[in-house]
Structure 1
Amino acid sequence: MILIAIDLAMLAVGGLAALGVVLMRAKFASCGFAAMLLAVTYPASLGFAADNWTSFQNGGTLAVPANTDTLEWKQGWSQDIPGYGQSSPVVWGETVYVTSVSGPQKETYHVVAYKLSDGSKLWQHDLKNATPRENTSYVSRAAPTPAADANGLVCFFEGGNLIALTHDGKVRWERDLVEEFGPLDARHGLSASVEQTDTSAFVWVERSEDPYVMSINKQTGKTVWKVAGIGATSWASPRLVPVGDGHHLVLSGIGHLVGLDPTTGERLWEFDGISGNSSPTPIPLGDGRFLQGATVGRGEASSGSAAKSNGVIGITQASDGKWQADYVWQAKRATSSFGSPIAIANRCYYVNATGVVYCLDLKTGDEVYAKRLKESIWATPVAIGGEILFFGKGGSIRGIADGEEYEALSSEAAWDAPTDDAPESGRGRSSGPVLYGVAVAGERVVIRRGDQLTVWTIH
């Protein structure tokens, strides 16, 4: 199964990004790229698609194999979602889960389970928002994506509610982070999704004052560790990046990248040579490297300087044991929007705020080509086999072939016609339905917009 997910409570943020220039320091030896290129091809355990898609961007594994050279699409069921939400769906077995919020003051959060095969509603759990706030398109609305495993799912909401549920909707444990640690005031709200290991769930609260990140025992709900956040504007999510025999928990916020030890919370390294990185979440490549996206700063005349914050970053350990991070290469023109870039085989793909896709050589960062899509995207692309899928903000589905030249493949519309997609009893800008996330399980593609799930079959 495959997922595309929006990387923030983005729909009314309106291009928030910082200005800045970073220095080119591509000093890493090319020998490590063989391992990196292998890591971004296809997981050996997957067939056409995995049965489960358990968290935001599935930990950054965005390319999966397929048993067909071309994808054919057929529309299946659709279901209205209570309220409105910006999170991505997660899938476990034959169940798809989504979160949402309703009420003029965002009074009630919802976790809803649907049967994947026919869309029938299995259960709904409602909980009172710990921090009611006017329901407008200028703030995040059920933006964090939950994390699922064999025992159920862990859900975090921007109001401070943290809850674990079984697969049949029973409460395992529940916490109110506002009651424990104070208000969660943040510009436009929070949107960091839950990252996870087998035993821990990571919750990042990058609030305006005293931000923090926590490791939670998934079985008991108790805090394993709690440390300071990074003190920067961010709508990205925490991301586990493989480094050597372990992982670093990487946090990305405007002007800063930080790597934590996921077992202790110890800050292992910091990197400040970056700007505009408020929204895209890092995408692991293997061998301590990850793709980093960043947006064009407000008022910037061209994408040239902003592009230097987009590229591959590598984590290395010095002879004294200290960890450090730096660019392997930096882009010359390519920039990101809300979504993260994607890597497949020898190439990576960035999509900027106007819908231009840049194909770059993954080893060197050299531009292969640039081509404008039908519309901008707020979701991170995915690849099925050799086809890269871009899901437009307004519902367009565009596929291109991975290769040295642009070749258009799939072309579909996620829904038939625009409808009023304003929040329930809310106010603010409304520009029609918005596509926030996609999950693919087997041959079913689940497309989530703010108020609806739609399923397509691919074969």
Structure 2
Amino acid sequence: PAAPPRDAGRPRRPPPIQAAKQRFEVLALARDDGRVLWRRTAIEATPPAGTHPHATFASASPVTDGERIFAHFGSQGLYAYSWDGELLWSKDLGDMQTRNSFGEGSTPALHDGVLVVNWDHEGDSFIVALDAATGAERWRRSRDEPTSWSTPVVATGGGKPQVIVAATGRTRGYDLATGEVLWQVAGMTLNVVPTPIVAGDVVYVTSGFRGNKMQAIRYAGASGELDAGDPAILWQYDRDTPYVPSPVLAEGQLYFVKRNGGILSALDAATGAVRYAVRLDRPDNVYASLVAAAGRVYVVGRDGTTAVIKCGPSFEVLATNHLDDGFDASPAIVGDVLYLRGRTHLYAIARPLSAAGGERSAP
């Protein structure tokens, strides 16, 4: 008999969602009861390409400086609103051509009146800094990078704010004021998605598509092309790293899942030493980034299950909770409330106010 095809038995990637006319909206909801305070249509348009079937055409997160809200719809534009929902300005940065029509998803970084957008795609990639008040361009730098979905972060260790972007070719640190490349290092895999994690003068970068890589880099004072022997590279790790979800740093440890779930690892952030790597019963499929609060790590799954893990060198599950929904968006923690954006509902989760002190503890 004829030999089976090489990909026999492998799950096939589902086809992308085809582009069709969409309404791109921004909603403001009251934190206490979820009522809609205002709702604005930014644009109605047909995206230039399709998107991944597990994503949407509005995958980037809004960001705010407490006075303005910035909604980034990628190829459909960047929109700045007042706290009351008045459109202040908008910016068209062009059309993205993402790898395999996987769609767009990088969120802008915001720091001290500067909004930074990374635009890595299959065309001419670039990074651009905009004035948050007006949308005027402050600087722009070309990037020799294929599509990436990682969100830039601004790091302030060493006294000079840097924009750090993880990508396939190089992770780079840019001077926030000028756009000058201060340092760069190779090592990430294809399809870089996780957001870098900054703690003091160290940044942790990772990726996990067709390979595994995590690096701890002392970015403050780093200069030029870095390699494995450079003292700025504190440690590297090459097992069980995440594809989509970002790690979380809590109480001196980095927590992350393998690829998109299944194995949870905890590493000492200072040395890279493995504290544990264990299989989670549930959830076993994770797109949402891990979050932490009050000595707990929250791992939120696509099936509606959340595992609550105790922070520490030993693995301990404190609780496993389930909601009749699915979660791809990353949770947000504000004060003592955990917000979850599901496919059908938005949830605010917290313990009831105590009768004695009128205070809540972590959910």
Band of TM-score, shorter chain: 0.7 to 0.9
Matched, 1:112 2:27: yes
Matches within 5 A, 1:356-435: 356-373=263-280, 374=282, 375-413=284-322, 415-416=323-324, 433-435=326-328
Matched, 1:216 2:130: yes
> Which residue in 2 is equivalent to 1:27?
none
| TM value normalised by structure 2 | 0.83
| TM value normalised by structure 1 | 0.66
Size of the alignment, in residue pairs?
330
Name segments (4+ residues, structure 1) moved above 6 Å.
none
Query: What secondary structure is seen at the aligned counterpart in 2 of 1:343?
Result: strand
For 2:288 and 2:154, the matched residues in 1 are separated by: 20
For 1:131 and 1:223, the matched residues in 2 are separated by: 26
Q: 1:14 to 1:214 in 2, by over 3 A?
A: farther
Q: 2:86 aligns with which of 161, 165, 170?
A: 170
Matched, 1:145 2:61: yes
For 1:245 and 1:449, the matched residues in 2 are separated by: 39
Higher relative contact order, structure no. (Cα contacts within 8 Å, ≥ 6 residues apart): 1
Matches within 5 A, 1:248-263: 248-263=162-177
Q: Give per-residue Cα distances to partners, 1:35-80, cap 9 Å, x unaligned.
A: xxxxxxxxxxxxxxxxxxxxxxxxxxxxxxxxxxxxxxxxxxxxxx
Matched, 1:290 2:203: yes
Structure 2 gaps, min length 5: 1-11, 352-360
2:290–2:299 CA contact under 8 A, matched in 1: yes
Q: 1:121 to 1:140 in 2, by over 3 A?
A: closer
> Which residue in 2 is equivalent to 1:278?
192
Cα offset for 1:444? 2.3
2:150–2:166 CA contact under 8 A, matched in 1: yes
**CA root-mean-square deviation:** 2.7
Matched, 1:314 2:229: no
> Which residue in 2 is equivalent to 1:349?
255
For 2:143 and 2:345, the matched residues in 1 are separated by: 34
2:288–2:327 CA contact under 8 A, matched in 1: no
Matches within 5 A, 1:182-201: 183-187=95-99, 188-201=102-115
For 1:316 and 1:117, the matched residues in 2 are separated by: 40
Cα offset for 1:239? 1.1
For 1:147 and 1:316, the matched residues in 2 are separated by: 25
Matches within 5 A, 1:42-121: 105-121=20-36
Q: 1:137 to 1:324 in 2, by over 3 A?
A: closer
> Which residue in 1 is equivalent to 2:77?
161
For 1:324 and 1:243, the matched residues in 2 are separated by: 18
Cα offset for 1:136? 5.5
For 1:295 and 1:103, the matched residues in 2 are separated by: 27
Cα offset for 1:167? 1.2
1:130–1:161 CA contact under 8 A, matched in 2: no
Q: 1:104 to 1:204 in 2, by over 3 A?
A: closer
Q: Percent identity?
A: 26
